[in-house]
Amino acid sequence: MTMLKVDNLVAGHGLLTAVRNVSFSVEPGAVLGANGAGKTTLFRTLAGVHRAESGGVMLDGLDITPLSPSRRVASGIAMVPEGRRLFADMSVRENLQVAGENGRRGDWTLDSVLAALPSLKTLLDVAADGLSGGQRQAVAIGRALMSNPKVLLLDEVSLGLSPVAIEGLYEQLAGLKGRGDTTMIVVEQDLDRAMGFSDRVICLLEGRIALEGAPAALGKQAVTEAYFGLAHKETTDA
């Protein structure tokens, strides 16, 4: 059974329609697109933060389109939002435990999260507002894992991080991917990083899917053109 299926999804915020008839089914992968392409709105709609105007979202055979964000977490979908959004005055341990208390039951516990993200072990008693950007991102991922998601959405996962922090973060994500018990979908601006990490990429342009497929089959040139809208421009000009 397909873990996540999106069918003709239309969504936006305010008067702006940012996601236009998007359909796909999920394998671990990345969603690419320039700023304003609709990536974050898509993720927020999948997580229930934005209401879908039309279309549907199925998670493991269950229609979650009408569910609230908290009920979607309970059903098995979790998002690491852009900006991390940790509880700044709480310790790393407390941030992780809060998520564990409000998620699904499963194999992800404090011990297993620390084993998967060993950089957190020495930070458990540190307040979140005292962490570096890379440390905050690792805590945000750990917090999402504590809810035992079937599908983990990671929005702008490397935004604002140093190259060293990004390298370390993706090493940890590769370890999570290797476990095979949680499907990850990553919004990433770095084309090389996204194509190297993902089994499949989806390029959004003006809220629509411009290109999708396995990175090796698509090739960087095609992904770059879809990312920047070059293929769309050539077609329009023609």
Q: What is the pLDDT of residue 39?
A: 87
Q: What is the pLDDT of residue 236?
A: 43
Average pLDDT over residues 77-94: 88
Q: Which CATH architecture has domain 4-85+149-237?
A: 3-Layer(aba) Sandwich (3.40)
pLDDT > 90: percent of the chain: 44
How many other C-beta atoms can be found within 10 angstroms of the C-beta atom of residue 201? Answer: 24
Sequence-separated (6 or more) residues with CB below 8 Å from residue 204: 22, 31, 32, 33, 37, 38, 39, 42, 210
pTM of the model: 0.86
Q: What is the pLDDT of residue 234?
A: 46
Confidence grade of residue 2 (pLDDT, cut at 50, 70, 90) = low
How many other C-beta atoms can be found within 10 angstroms of the C-beta atom of residue 45? Answer: 26
- Closest to 78 in 3D by CA, of 10, 146, 14, 29: 146
Predicted confidence (pLDDT) per residue in 206-224, tens digit: 899 999 999 999 999 999 8
Q: What is the pLDDT of residue 238?
A: 43
Q: What is the pLDDT of residue 56?
A: 95
Predicted confidence (pLDDT) per residue in 33-80, tens digit: 667 788 889 999 999 999 999 999 999 889 999 999 999 999 999 998
**Residues 185 and 151 sit within 8 Å (Cβ to Cβ):** yes
Confidence grade of residue 102 (pLDDT, cut at 50, 70, 90) = confident
DSSP per-residue codes, 53-88:
EEEEEEETTEE-TT--HHHHHHHTEEEE-TT----T
Domain ranges of the chain: 4-85+149-237
Looking at residue 211, what DSSP letter applies? Answer: E
Residue type, 137: Q
Average pLDDT over residues 131-151: 90
Q: Is a pLDDT exceeding 50 seen at residue 31?
A: yes
